[in-house]
Structure 1
Amino acid sequence: MTTPAAIHPIQLMLVSEQAAPNLLPALDPAIKPREAVLLVSQKMAHRAQALQAVLQESGIKTQSVPLPDEHNMAALESILMDVATQRDGQAIALNVTGGNKLMALAAQAVAQAAGWPAFYVDVDTDQIIWLDKTRPAQALTQQLRLRHYLRGYGFTLAEGIERPQPNTAWQTLLQDLIINVGSLEEAIGQLNHLSQEAQRSLRVTLSPRQREHHGLDALLRKFEQAQVLKRQGDTLVFATEAARSFANGGWIEHHVYQSVSQVTGDLAIRDKAANLQVLGDSGQPNEIDVAFMARNRLFMVECKTARMNHEGDLKANDTLYKLAENCRRIGGLGTRGMLATYRPLRESEQRLAKALNIEVVAGRDLNRLGERLKQWVKPKA
């Protein structure tokens, strides 16, 4: 059987802020082209560079066609007709999903004149819709991995992908912390502060008030039993930097990652990682606590154990705004964000999260995170 890719080895793409609609069909084995021709406005030059890098890495030859004025219909049609003339006799398929409306209209008009089939990528249904109506819609079979998806939006991984596997002792402690959400809240706040203070030396001395804090004492015993730290008189000594990081809220990242791992099969999750450091054009690192790819979309989870309702603390509103902005900037419009927090949010903060389309799993709901992940990721009926 002849595949669509064999029939149309060249894809014509309209570059826009959203990389996914161009990446998904280009990397889909069913219609993956040998070459991609990118129509690029001046404003989208940086997006085109990022897209080309991923395509070339995947073995696809690329050509960039500049568009000096993407708002001039006659000029757009003239450039596209030049492409059609230069590539007369070549089998081309037009991906009409990207670009602005004028670019799409001009490209479709030239495609009709040149006899090129055109298709649209429906990111809501993960389907390719052929516009000539002679072929049925086809499901996208390629599910992007984190590295390719992020590179398509101009971001690279500063370090390797981390997939944490806590030992048995840490796992037992982790389950205890999640089950006892609420009763440990104040002690967790104290431990966050102590582990932060020990960042350089892995050692920290308890204050007189902390030595008398019964809840903190009980929590420290749990962490000592799990060999995360040792108590030497009034001093805490963390076993390793990884152990200190685990005590400093890293345990909730482990819980989220494990929960994602447990539902990977049910949700057809393609790739997942924790503690990602991604770099953009500025070179400024962006931290993502947990990220995974499902339904050809990026899902990002921000994990918090710190207080967000005291003077001097990072406020919940700031966390929500930052997460929403990172979702848009790092992963595009289709990216979804979740805040997993040990402490419940106020009603006003919950309303803000809803307005920003941020899912919130807080307090006792962490104990049923797997169920909440399924509700969040599965497409709405």
Structure 2
Amino acid sequence: MPVLIPTLVFRPVSTQLLVTDGVRSVGENIRDALRTHQDTKTLGCHVHEPIRPYWPEDAAAQSDRIFTGRYNGRRFALNVTGGTTLMALGARRAAAEHNVPLLYVDTDNGVIITLAPDGSVTGEREITVSVPTSTYLAAHSATVSAREPWGKAIERRESWLKPFLEAATVLGQAGGGSERLLDVIRPVCSGGAAGPAELPEVTTAEESLANRLQEFGMIEVARRGGSLQVQPKGDERIRQFLTGHWLELYVYRACLTSGLFDDVCLSVDIRRRTESGTVVNECDVLTTLRGRLAVISCKTARLDHKDENKGAVYELDSLLQAELMGLYARKVLVTNRLALRPPLRNRAGLSQIECIWGPHLPDVAQRIQSCLLPGRR
């Protein structure tokens, strides 16, 4: 992203990329990413022949050819972010000879630093450019597409989604208060138990939550002494919703309506080209903000078994390796559990995964945003 961001910010007539053999495909990815962005798809992008990464003379010579070539006499700026130190030294030498100013993208602090040809800092510019999810992923040799039924329904704005989105908001705003109710419903929805489900020693808040779901036409509720009997409706979408998809819908809607993000996507497949073929990863929610990506995994099942909490972490870890998705992708695990056991929190911490659980669900959008703000690594 530090290579792509200046082009999105300044929209130059042409971007000239100096690459090495090991990262030539990165230059091609940048070119693909520009084509996905409405404002940059007509801009030129040229990937030059690879140079040696530790020979500053190569970078100096190639930079000199660019400055004196087709665009001779035009205004240039040299972005020294992303290459090796010796490449930057060589390119800077050529820039000084041609009086070309420099740029450095400090994504950690969310600014583009501008420098004079002699290397002295002349100013900073805050990174405020909007980067769509498709553009971020294209820059990392990946594409994104909505999945059936939830992602496609959002994409097509289908009317049947409205009660599901509203019910998801009710459940999400309940924080961890939905945990017991949905835990007893789950086996019935998945066919592992005969209905109705029974919730003993029901609280007033749980009964109110069940009644709201009944109003949305998703369950039938009956009070039996101190217990609540709950029968899920037979519709497959309702059963999917109650067994977990409600949390994805809630997180998506909370992020979208908050206005805090550049882009928000629900229920998508990420396809990445590799030497051995195409790899497809399913993702619950994606958000972008100022050139950073958050991949959000939503879990409503119990996470207190070692295999389950290991799987929840591994799912994010396997997708978000730095060499695959860049240094500026963030991992977020969201659950409606009232509490997270220490083994899961420790495992997530070691993998730099941000955890958001039950009591924090009402503020989920703000917490995800905080992961993407400058200064967070």
Alpha-carbon spacing, 1:146–1:187, altered in 2? closer, same or farther (3 Å): same
Matched, 1:54 2:54: no
Q: Which residue number in structure 2 is paired with residue 320 of structure 1? A: 313
Q: 1:147 to 1:358 in 2, by over 3 A?
A: same
Aligned: 1:274 with 2:266:
yes
Match of residue 78, structure 2, among 94, 113, 119: 94
Shift of 1:108: 1.2
Distance in 1, Cα, partners of 2:69 & 2:217: 68
Distance across 1 between alignment mates of 2:369 and 2:53: 41
Q: Look up the match of 1:123.
A: 107
State the secondary structure of the residue aligned to 2:49. strand
**Is it true that 1:333 corresponds to 2:327 in the alignment?**
yes
Give the drift of 1:360. 1.0
Partners of 1:167 and 1:317 in 2: how far apart? 34
Q: For residue 87 of structure 2, what is the amino acid of its counterpart?
A: M
Q: CA deviation at 1:365?
A: 2.3
Change (3 A) 1:315 1:214: closer
- For 1:5-44, list aligned pairs within 5 A: 20-28=1-9, 31-44=10-23
Tell me the C-alpha RMSD between the 2 structures.
3.4
Cα separation, 2, equivalents of 1:142 and 1:368: 25
- Could you tell me how far apart the structure 1 residues matched to 2:112 and 2:199 are? 60
CA positional deviation for 1:379: 4.5
CA 1:113–1:356: 2 relative to 1, 3 Å? same
**The one of 288, 295, 299 aligned to 1:300:** 295
Mapped partners of 1:359, 1:303: distance in 2: 12
Residue in 2 that maps onto 1:147: 134
Q: 5+ residue gaps in structure 2? A: 222-229
1:367–1:113 Cα change, 3 Å: same
Q: What SS class does the counterpart of residue 147 from structure 1 fall into?
A: helix
Q: 1:346 to 1:46 in 2, by over 3 A?
A: same
TM-score by length of 1: 0.76
The question of whether the paired residues in 2 share the 8 Å contact of 1:229 and 1:238 is answered with no
Residue 292 of structure 2 contacts residue 329 of structure 2 at CA under 8 Å; is this kept in 1?
yes
CA separation of 1:376/1:130 partners in 2, compared to 1, >3 Å: closer, same or farther? Answer: closer
Counterpart residue type for residue 39 of structure 1: L
Secondary structure of the corresponding residue to residue 284 of structure 1: strand
2:310·2:347 contact (CA, 8 Å) conserved in 1?
A: yes
Give the deviation of 1:44 after TM superposition.
0.9
Question: How many Å separate the matches in 2 of 1:168 and 1:315?
Answer: 30
Cα-to-partner distance string for 1:330-363 (whole Å, 9 max, x where unaligned): 5421122211112232123213323332211112
Listed one character per residue, the Cα deviations across residues 233-252 of structure 1 (whole Å, up to 9, x for unaligned) are x996532x433321220111
Partner of residue 45, structure 1: 24
Q: Is the 8 A contact 1:34 1:60 kept in 2?
A: yes
1:304 Cα deviation after fit = 0.3
Query: Which amino acid counterpart does residue 154 of structure 1 have in structure 2?
Result: S
SS of 2:294's equivalent in the other structure is strand
Match of 2:50 in 1: 67
Which amino acid in 2 is paired with 1:149?
Y
Residues 143/261 of structure 1: CA separation in 2 closer, same or farther (3 Å cut): same
Deviation at 1:378? 4.5
Q: Which runs of 5+ in 1 are unaligned?
A: 1-19, 198-203
